[in-house]
């Protein structure tokens, strides 16, 4: 699943530059050889699926498995085009927990649901009112429902929708309030802030949002190049159809991932049952950018620039990463193997084209790292089991 956070349509990326030996005599560092950029045989467990634009139009899903030196086309004719420049970081992609369905939000911001066993697809209408700036989606734990956010360009107006895939019904859960402000000779429409949703269980989800009237004043820089939108002031737990909604005041945390049992956020984890009940009992994590394991028992997190696997309920921690692989912050394409024994990671930022050609595979049990070279703009879709 692709994991990036957007607040009112703006993705914030923090980069830290670390140096050593400040104030000391200059030294000549010993070069550390990196892995050679060659095609490496894919992992033996399951198949890696990729999605890319087809030459004649539409989308192609390709597979990479044992016996193949590069991805080969599996299904073609899926509608839409992917354009990384239209999204903050690559296209919006989500995969259901059972790895049977994938969601693609195309360059024209159409939602397409793909069956990963047959290549069949379903188009989902997006009832947005204006030109869309970004989009994000996530499946419910049982894969039967979808929550997706679209953010319009003007004023970064965010809207949250859900979709019951079996019934074919969509629901509008949230639309950001907006107001026009003037400053430095400019007028601009500003809307309330929003945090993407996470599912608590099969029918309940939670999200952070600004609720109520917009403030009388907001900060606007000269030429209105930057504004300070009011951040979320409520944390909302609701049914997928908008019923049984409950609001609370944010308390400095927001979950980014949930598997129905465990909820994680940047620097903390908690029981999903507590979140649903409105009980705030969080447990601190030593690292950042956690990625929750499929069983909800552990996370991969960044501690001092290294990858660590941490068992949440026992606290057992093991360093598994190396400096050759990207920071977890930059893993815009991320997938667990079917047996959760390996992780695939790639930076899909179109502004860093060389990173798009390298898919890193980290084996947690042996700490081995493989480097797989793939064509550019061929996005990692899912890591699925072998065909029966």
Report pLDDT digits (tens) over 212-270.
Answer: 999 988 776 665 555 667 888 888 889 999 988 888 877 666 788 888 789 898 899 98
Distance (Å, whole) CA 134 – CA 132: 6
**DSSP secondary structure of 76-135:** EEES----GGGSSSS-EEEE-TTSSEEEEE-TT--EEEEETTT--EEEE-----S-EEEE
Q: What is the pLDDT of residue 155?
A: 55
Q: Tell me the CA end-to-end span of the chain in Å, nearest whole number.
A: 23
Q: What is the pLDDT of residue 180?
A: 86
Q: Mean pLDDT in runs of 10 for the chain (388 residues)?
A: 36 27 35 44 85 89 89 92 58 88 84 93 74 80 90 75 91 90 76 87 90 84 63 89 83 78 90 80 91 93 91 92 78 90 80 70 85 82 87
Confirm if 94 and 106 have CB atoms less than 8 A apart.
no
Confirm if 200 and 206 have CB atoms less than 8 A apart.
yes
Q: What is the pLDDT of residue 1?
A: 42
Distance (Å, whole) CA 99 – CA 112: 15
46, two tokens:
């399951």
Q: Return the half-sphere exposure (C-beta side, CA atoms, 13 A cut-off) of residue 96.
A: 19
CA 179 to chain centre: 29
Q: What is the pLDDT of residue 96?
A: 93
3-state secondary structure of 305: coil
Task: Give 63's strand partners.
Answer: 49, 72
pTM for the whole structure:
0.80
Q: What is the pLDDT of residue 129?
A: 57
Confirm if 224 and 188 have CB atoms less than 8 A apart.
yes
Q: What is the pLDDT of residue 131?
A: 64
């Amino acid at each position: 699943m692709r994991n990036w956070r957007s607040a009112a349509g703006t993705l914030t990326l923090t980069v830290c530059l670390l140096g050593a030996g400040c104030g000391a005599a200059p030294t000549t560092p010993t070069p550390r050889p990196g892995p050679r950029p060659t095609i490496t045989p894919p992992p033996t467990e399951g198949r890696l699926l990729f999605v890319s634009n087809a030459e004649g139009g539409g989308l192609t899903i390709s597979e990479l498995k044992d016996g193949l030196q590069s991805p080969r086309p599996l299904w073609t004719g899926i509608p839409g085009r992917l354009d990384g420049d239209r999204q903050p970081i690559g296209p919006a992609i989500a995969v259901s927990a059972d790895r049977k369905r994938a969601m693609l939000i195309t360059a024209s911001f159409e939602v397409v649901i793909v069956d990963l066993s047959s290549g069949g697809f379903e188009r989902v209408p997006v009832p947005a009112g204006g030109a869309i700036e970004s989009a994000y989606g996530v499946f419910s734990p049982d894969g039967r429902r979808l929550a997706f956010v679209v953010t319009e360009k003007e004023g970064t107006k965010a809207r949250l929708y859900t979709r019951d895939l079996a019934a074919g019904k969509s629901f509008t859960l949230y639309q950001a309030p907006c107001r026009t402000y003037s400053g430095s000779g400019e007028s601009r429409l500003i809307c309330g802030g929003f945090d993407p949703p996470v599912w608590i269980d099969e029918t309940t989800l939670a999200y952070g949002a600004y609720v109520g009237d917009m403030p009388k004043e907001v900060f606007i820089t000269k030429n209105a190049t930057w504004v300070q939108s009011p951040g979320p002031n409520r944390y909302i737990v609701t049914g997928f159809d908008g019923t049984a909604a409950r609001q609370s005041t944010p308390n400095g945390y927001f979950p980014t991932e949930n598997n129905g049992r465990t909820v994680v956020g940047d620097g903390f984890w908690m029981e999903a049952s507590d979140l649903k009940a409105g009980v705030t009992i969080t447990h601190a994590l030593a690292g950042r950018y956690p990625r929750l394991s499929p069983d909800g028992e552990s996370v991969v997190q960044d501690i001092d620039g290294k990858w660590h696997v941490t068992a949440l309920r026992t606290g057992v921690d093991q360093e598994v990463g190396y400096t050759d692989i990207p920071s977890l912050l930059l893993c815009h394409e991320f997938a667990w193997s079917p047996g959760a024994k390996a992780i695939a990671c790639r930076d899909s930022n179109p502004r860093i084209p060389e990173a798009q050609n390298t898919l890193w595979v980290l084996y947690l049990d042996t700490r081995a790292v493989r480097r797989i070279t793939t064509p550019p703009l061929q996005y990692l879709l899912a890591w699925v089991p072998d065909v029966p």
